[in-house]
């Protein structure tokens, strides 16, 4: 039989039992659509997070006190204690590297802010002027923290838009004195309402000079130090600079953890890829179920078409040809079902994008290939048994089965 | 052209041995018109199936056009069936979803003949068999006689050397049956070897050579003058 004739013959035989064919197409297409849609959403989530990180600038290096990666089992690590704090002096020393573009120390805490009897609790960030650039913060009005030595505990603050709204309402906040913990400090600026970096809502923030924050929070230690490298090429040099500087200052111990955006990105990327693969695998199971359905229905079809199969044998079709005819039917079913499923999957991702424009839910090419491949594969594998049964039918009995 | 030598076929039914063919020897010359008659269960269908390569004997030799076909594998048997043997069945065995023309062309389709060539070969047959106005109808829209004509056209489209008919009139009324027999005899007069298995003495006795099978043996082999 010629390939085109085989396809035509297969299509005709599929068309002769519409309901059965439609049910199998439905099963196949739902399976493929599930794979396409779920991997699309998984991939979209991955791209979204990667994008969020890149918006921070990928040449950012974060220094965290204590070693997380290569901790040995000392009593200190058992109780989770940081052996030595990162201090402002460390930050100053780190700032002297030639690979450093900008550097800012960070301290965080919770603090009460009050103005004329109104009071609320806010997340407090102690930092320096460069954080504006590093974190891409926007100013609504006024000025940001002054560019000056990080040791100066100037009692000024920059407040988030929501804090401003709740404490001052329509009134002017610039130049007003607010009470922050036990200290008074002057409001010098208001942050813009846009922007949310890494979980901290900038609308609710209060930012003060880092030395002032240390005073307020009564601590010497820093939460972390953010360092922006001059460019991506010098990140390795910057890391060495951080290690040697800290080791020199901490009596030979490299007791800090250095996180580059790349490594964070890579980790998230890996996690989300595995997640995407997992959901794809779960969706793949539905494809296998569809395959089993195809097998059952094909077995039924073989039983129904016994006479036709016997006849084909009498008319000169060999076992292989009979098998090829039935497998062709199954492959036609799974490829048509697969294409419909692709259509449904893409329609679903398109819909998802309409509802969540931030989610770029494009199914990755490998998922499309895998879904179609699995559809064809299950169609093929699960049609082999019925096809073999058909091919082995005794033509005499098959013809007598009338 | 057909020669069976000491061919036996044994079935086991419920622990019992049934000799459907018991050392049958038979030679059929090209262009012969042969009928095989006998009571039910006498082995005449097994004989026909063996001649048509649908059944393989347990012992003995079968020479078809000088070639020993007992040792051929499945694919080779299928090829020989496709080239040399045409089948006609009591229940027509047309494929319901295909039109008359498509049913007639089915052996060509299976053999991998191009669509152009298929049409070229089926059109004159359809005309000769008086099916021109029915060629696009499906089997359920045809009368019994018409269905059997389609089946005969299908059996001869590959230009086989021998035509094997299993109760070709068994499912037809007298008139259509006579019609079909005339058609088959016409094909035989054109040189085609014709073997008819039948219960119906009226049909069987028209053949020039009549074989009677009883208990898996040839009980009589009569040539009409």
Q: Indicate whether A336 and A301 sit together in one domain.
A: yes
- Contact call for residues A175 and A211 (beta carbons, < 8 A): no
Please indicate, yes or no, whether residues A15 and A110 belong to a single structural domain of this protein: no
Q: How far is A327 from chain B (nearest CA, A)?
A: 15
Tell me if A261 is assigned to some domain.
Answer: no
Residue B82 lies in a domain: yes
Average pLDDT of B29-42? 91
Give Cβ neighbours of residue A302 (< 8 Å, ≥ 6 apart): A309, A326, A386, A387, A389, A390, A393
Nearest CA in chain A to B84: A316
Do A241 and A279 fall within a single domain?
Answer: no
Residue at A66 is within a domain? no
Domain tally, chain A:
2
CATH number of the domain at B132, please: 3.40.50.300
pLDDT of residue A81: 52
For the stretch A199-253, pLDDT in tens is 567 888 899 999 999 999 998 889 889 998 888 788 889 989 999 998 888 888 8
Of the residues A254, A287, A320, which one is the last residue of a structural domain?
A254
Chain A contact set for B74 (CB, 8 A)? 318-319
Within this chain, do residues A288 and A207 fall inside the same structural domain, yes or no?
no
User: Does residue B180 fall inside a structural domain?
Assistant: yes
pLDDT of residue A393: 85
Q: Is B90 domain-assigned?
A: yes
Same structural domain for residues A312 and A205?
no
Q: Do A164 and A235 share a domain, yes or no?
A: yes
Q: Which of A312, A314, A328 to mutate to test the interface with B (most CBs of B within 10 A)?
A: A314
Q: In terms of domains, do A395 and A364 share one? A: yes
Tokens matching residue A144: 């940001």
Tens of pLDDT, residue by residue over A99-109, are 899 999 999 99
Residue A323 in domain: yes
In a domain, B25, yes or no: no
What ipTM was reported for this prediction? 0.86
Q: Which of A254, A289, A324 is the last residue of a domain?
A: A254
C-alpha separations of B5 from A304, B20, B24, B27, B197 in Å = 38, 15, 7, 9, 20
A11/A121 same-domain check: no
pLDDT of residue A212: 94
> Considering the domain boundaries, does residue B64 fall inside one?
no
Domain-located, residue B97: yes
Domain identity same for A284 and A241? no
Assess if residue A73 is contained within a domain: no
pLDDT(A16) > 60: yes
Confidence check: pLDDT of A287 > 90: no
pLDDT in tens, A120-130: 999 999 999 99
Nearest-CB residue to B109 (from A9, A310, A402): A9
pLDDT at residue A194, rounded to an integer: 65
The answer to whether position A58 is within a domain reads no
Asked, for residue A76, whether it belongs to a domain, the answer is no
Residue to substitute from B78, B81, B159, interface A, most A β-carbons within 10 A:
B78
**In the predicted model, is pLDDT for residue A78 greater than 60?**
no
What pLDDT score does A71 carry? 47
Residue A65 lies inside a defined structural domain of this protein: no
CB A55 within 8 A of CB A395: no
pLDDT single digits (tens) A177-207:
999 988 999 999 999 876 555 456 788 889 9
User: Same domain for A197 and A299?
Assistant: no
Q: How confident is the model over A37-64, as pLDDT tens digits?
A: 888 888 888 888 777 776 666 688 889 8
The string of pLDDT tens digits covering residues A327-350 is: 998 899 889 999 999 999 999 888
User: What does pLDDT average to over chain B?
Assistant: 91
Residue B136 located in a structural domain = yes
Asked if residue B150 belongs to a domain, the reply is yes
Question: Average pLDDT for residues B95-114, to the nearest whole number?
Answer: 92
- Per residue in B193-210, pLDDT (tens digit) is 999 999 888 889 999 999
DSSP β-ladder status, B193-197 and B162-166:
parallel
State the pLDDT at residue B162.
Answer: 94
Q: Which domain holds residue B35?
A: 31-57+72-223
Q: Do residues A8 and A40 share a domain? A: yes
Quote the pLDDT of residue B181.
Answer: 92
Please check whether residues A99 and A241 belong to one and the same domain: yes
**Given an 8 Å threshold on Cβ–Cβ distance, is B110 in contact with A316?**
yes
- In terms of residue numbers, what domain contains A107? 84-254
- pLDDT over 70 for what percent of chain B? 100
Q: Which residues of A47-59 are buried (b: 16+ CB within 10 A; e: fewer)?
A: bbbbeebeebbbb
Residue A393 inside a domain? The answer is yes
Q: Which residues of B touch A15 (CB under 8 A)?
A: 97
Min distance A329 CA to chain B CA atoms (Å): 15
**What digits encode the pLDDT tens for the residues B151-191?**
999 999 989 999 999 999 988 999 999 999 999 999 999 99
State which of A227, A254, A281 marks the end of a domain. Answer: A254
CA torsion, ordered A350, A355, A360, A361, to nearest 10 deg: -50
Interchain contact, B82 vs A312, CB within 8 Å: no
pLDDT over 50 at B79, yes or no:
yes
């Amino acid at each position: 039989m010629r390939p085109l004739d085989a396809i035509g013959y297969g299509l005709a035989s599929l068309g002769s039992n519409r309901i059965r064919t439609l049910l199998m197409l439905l099963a196949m297409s739902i399976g493929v659509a599930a794979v396409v849609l779920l991997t699309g959403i998984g991939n979209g989530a991955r791209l979204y997070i990667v994008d969020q990180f890149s918006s921070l600038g990928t040449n950012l290096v974060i220094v965290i006190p204590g070693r997380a990666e290569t901790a040995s089992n000392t009593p200190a690590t058992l109780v989770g204690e940081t052996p030595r704090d990162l201090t402002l002096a460390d930050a100053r020393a780190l700032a002297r590297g030639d690979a450093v573009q900008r550097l800012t120390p960070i301290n965080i805490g919770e603090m009460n802010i009050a103005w004329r009897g109104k009071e609320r609790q806010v997340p407090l960030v102690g930092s320096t002027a460069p954080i504006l650039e590093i974190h891409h913060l926007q100013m609504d009005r006024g000025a940001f923290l002054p560019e000056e030595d990080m040791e100066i505990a100037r009692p000024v603050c920059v407040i988030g838009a929501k804090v401003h709204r709740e404490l001052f309402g329509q009134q002017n906040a610039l130049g007003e004195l607010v009470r922050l913990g036990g200290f008074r400090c002057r409001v010098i600026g208001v942050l813009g309402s846009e922007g949310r970096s890494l979980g901290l809502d900038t609308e609710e923030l209060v930012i003060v000079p880092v030395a002032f924050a240390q005073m307020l929070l009564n601590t010497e230690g820093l939460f972390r130090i953010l360092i922006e490298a001059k460019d991506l090429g010098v990140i390795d040099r910057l890391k060495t600079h951080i290690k040697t500087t800290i080791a020199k200052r901490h009596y030979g111990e490299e007791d800090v953890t250095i996180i580059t955006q790349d490594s964070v990105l890579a980790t998230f990327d890996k996690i989300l890829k595995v997640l995407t693969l997992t959901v794809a695998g779960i969706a793949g199971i539905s494809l296998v179920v569809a395959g089993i359905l195809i097998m059952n229905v094909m077995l039924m079809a073989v039983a129904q078409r016994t006479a036709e199969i016997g006849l084909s044998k009498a008319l000169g079709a060999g076992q292989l040809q009979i098998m090829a005819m039935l497998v062709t039917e199954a492959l036609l079913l799974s490829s048509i079902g697969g294409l419909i499923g692709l259509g449904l999957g893409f329609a679903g991702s398109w819909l998802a994008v309409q509802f969540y424009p931030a989610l770029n839910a494009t199914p990755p090419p490998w998922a499309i290939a895998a879904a179609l491949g699995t559809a064809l594969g299950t169609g093929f594998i699960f049609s082999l048994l019925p096809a073999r049964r058909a091919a082995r039918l005794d033509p005499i009995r098959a013809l007598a089965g009338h | 052209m057909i020669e069976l030598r000491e061919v036996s076929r044994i079935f086991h039914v419920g622990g019992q041995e049934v000799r459907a063919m018991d050392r049958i020897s038979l030679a059929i010359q090209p262009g012969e018109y042969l009928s095989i008659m006998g009571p039910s269960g006498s082995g005449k269908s097994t004989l026909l199936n063996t001649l048509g390569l649908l059944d393989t004997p347990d012992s003995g030799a079968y020479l078809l056009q000088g070639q020993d076909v007992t040792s051929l594998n499945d694919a080779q048997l299928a090829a020989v069936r496709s080239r040399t043997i045409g089948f006609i069945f009591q229940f027509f065995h047309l494929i319901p979803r295909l039109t008359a023309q498509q049913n007639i062309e089915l052996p060509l389709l299976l053999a991998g003949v191009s669509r152009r060539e298929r049409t070229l070969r089926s059109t004159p047959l359809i005309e000769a068999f008086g099916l021109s106005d029915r060629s696009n109808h499906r089997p359920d829209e045809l009368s019994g006689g018409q269905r059997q004509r389609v089946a005969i056209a299908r059996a001869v489209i590959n230009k086989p050397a021998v035509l094997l008919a299993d109760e070709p009139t068994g499912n037809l009324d007298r008139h259509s049956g006579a019609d079909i027999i005339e058609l088959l005899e016409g094909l035989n007069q054109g040189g085609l070897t014709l073997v008819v298995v039948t219960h119906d003495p009226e049909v069987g006795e028209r053949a020039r050579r009549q074989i009677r099978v009883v208990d898996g043996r040839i009980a009589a082999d009569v040539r009409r003058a």
